[in-house]
């Protein structure tokens, strides 16, 4: 099953809080962890204005402190190194939102269960997460239903697809709630971080694009604001109606061709990974489409997100799945020029282009994809 939803729920939450971001201000973080087993050390890490910062300090009498300068609220992480207790209890990490001003962290034994005061942004996040409790419970119930199911039921495609649908409905419910809030609170930095997380997973979310346009100028001018702007621009370059990038394709035999060589044909591009179970589930549908249209004006190309190390596994999967249509990869995993050019952030992913090399559909699958192709050839 796809559990992208778990990642999405890590995103932030929001309440009204606005600011003008123009100059750096001091921040101070004071921590007090009671009953802490010593020796221990604290580490603070965060990214600010395209730079990564890592600070550390010794913990004395359960107390530690960090200070510095930032201009706006941003996500940060504090980790406590308990040395011998690390193995027993795992990493002791707290993710939170820090901002200019003084913040206080209080806890017992571990920082991962500590509380933060003095950060309005953190309070907003906690309030928003509380709004999501119903969605989280539903997600937990779906995951529990899968775990408790018998092995036979877990392998039942109808059962798995029904759980997937429930998950996707929850994802939509979360996204609608989050973007509704962002659109009505355009001066919140947290809204920007939410958009960044969403566009990392779903770069083609046009509603998220519009929500970004409505953000306050002071937010869009920050480093993360410019980062999100660049993410959106990359997606727009390969949106429906755009021309496909001019790229070279290397097949299993090492032969190189160009996408432009297929001008005059409809082209279906299937981005996938041999390690992706959902990708493999799409292959029978694609093979069926190939059997119907292989002698017509449709070219199909599988583009694998794969490495040189796993080349043999990739070739074996092609044979096992009877993929009798061209398969290519530059074997650079997610550093692939093909993946970057088409802004691929997750797989499976489908692009469909017309004979003039214009993108006419994307991220459609199975019956929807077949219906689209049928409609194209019905016009000829």
Q: Which residue pairs from 257-264 have beta carbons closer than 8 angstroms and sit at least 24 positions apart in sequence? A: 259/357, 260/357, 262/299, 263/355, 263/356, 263/357, 264/297, 264/355
The pLDDT value recorded for residue 21 is: 62
184 forms beta bridges with: none
- Output the pLDDT for position 139: 92
List Cα–Cα distances, 88 to 58, 84, 110, 120, 168, in angstroms: 21, 8, 12, 34, 36
Separation in Å, CA 361 to CA 204, 210, 286: 12, 20, 15
pLDDT of the residue at 181: 83
User: What is the torsional sign of CA 128, 131, 136, 139?
Assistant: negative
For residue 175, the model assigns a pLDDT of: 86
CB 171 within 8 Å of CB 4:
yes
Q: Looking at residue 16, what is its pLDDT? A: 34
Instruction: Kindly report the pTM of this predicted structure.
Output: 0.78
Written in H, E and C, the secondary structure of the chain is CCCHHHHHCCCCCCCCCCCCCCCCEEEEEEEEEECCCCCCEEEEEEEECCEEEEEEEECECCEEEEEEEECCCEEEEEEEECCHHHHHHCCEEEEEEECCEEEEEEEECCCCCCEEECCHHHHHHHHHHHHCHHHHHHHHHHHHHHHHCCHHHHCCHHHHHHHHHHHHHHHHHHHHHHHHHHHHCCCCHHHHHHHHHHHHHCCCCHHHHHHHHCCCHHHHCCHHHHHHHHHHHHHHHCCCCCECCCCEEEECCCCEEEHHHHCCCEEEEEEECCCCHHHHHHHHHHHHHHHHHCCCCEEEEEEECCEHHHHHHHHHHHHHCCCCCCEECCCEHHHCHHHHHCCCCCCCEEEEECCCCEEEEECCCHHHHHHHHHHHHHCC
Q: What is the pLDDT along the chain (380 residues), one digit of tens a residue?
A: 333 333 333 333 333 333 456 577 999 999 999 998 778 899 999 999 989 999 999 999 999 999 999 999 999 999 999 865 555 456 899 999 999 999 999 999 999 999 999 999 999 888 888 888 999 999 999 999 999 999 999 989 899 889 988 988 998 898 888 898 888 888 889 999 999 999 998 888 999 999 999 999 999 999 999 999 999 999 999 999 999 998 888 888 888 889 899 999 999 999 999 999 889 999 999 999 999 999 999 999 999 999 999 999 999 999 999 999 999 999 999 999 999 999 998 999 999 999 999 999 999 999 999 999 999 998 66
Least Cα distance to 278 among 347, 324, 366, 370 occurs for 347
pLDDT confidence of residue 129: 86
Residue 183: which of 171, 198, 170 has the closest Cα? 198
């Amino acid at each position: 099953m796809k559990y992208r939803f778990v990642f999405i729920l890590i995103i932030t939450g929001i309440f009204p809080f606005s600011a003008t971001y123009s100059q750096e201000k001091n921040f101070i973080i004071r921590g007090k962890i009671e009953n802490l087993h010593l020796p221990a050390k604290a580490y603070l890490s965060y990214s600010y204005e395209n730079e990564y910062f890592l600070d550390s300090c010794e913990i004395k009498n359960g107390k530690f402190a960090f200070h510095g300068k930032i201009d706006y609220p941003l996500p940060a992480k504090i980790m406590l190194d308990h040395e011998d207790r690390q193995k027993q209890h795992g990493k002791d990490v707290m993710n939170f939102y820090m901002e200019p001003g003084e913040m206080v962290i209080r806890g017992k034994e571990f920082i991962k269960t500590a509380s933060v005061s003095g950060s309005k942004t953190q309070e907003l996040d906690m309030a928003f997460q509380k709004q999501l409790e119903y969605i989280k419970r539903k997600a937990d119930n779906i995951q529990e239903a899968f775990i408790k199911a018998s092995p036979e039921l877990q392998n039942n495609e109808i059962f798995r697809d029904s759980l997937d649908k429930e998950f996707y409905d929850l994802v939509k419910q979360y996204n609608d709630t989050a973007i509704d809030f962002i659109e009505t609170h355009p001066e919140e930095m947290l809204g920007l971080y939410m958009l960044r997380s969403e566009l990392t997973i779903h770069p083609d979310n046009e509603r998220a694009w519009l929500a970004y346009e409505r953000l306050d100028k002071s937010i869009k001018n920050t480093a993360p604001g410019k980062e999100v702007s660049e993410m959106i621009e990359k997606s727009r370059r390969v949106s429906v109606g755009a021309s496909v990038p001019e790229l070279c394709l290397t097949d299993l035999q090492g032969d190189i061709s160009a996408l432009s060589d297929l001008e005059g044909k409809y082209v279906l591009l299937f981005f996938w990974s041999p390690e992706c179970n959902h990708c493999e589930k799409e292959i029978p549908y694609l093979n069926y489409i190939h059997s119907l249209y292989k002698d017509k004006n449709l070219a199909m190309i599988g583009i694998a997100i794969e490495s040189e190390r796993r080349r043999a596994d990739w070739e074996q999967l092609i044979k096992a799945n009877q993929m009798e249509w061209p398969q290519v990869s530059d074997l650079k995993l997610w550093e692939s020029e093909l993946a970057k050019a088409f802004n691929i952030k997750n797989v499976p992913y489908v692009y469909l282009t017309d004979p003039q090399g214009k993108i006419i559909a994307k991220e459609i699958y199975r019956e929807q994809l077949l219906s689209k192709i049928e409609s194209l050839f019905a016009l000829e």
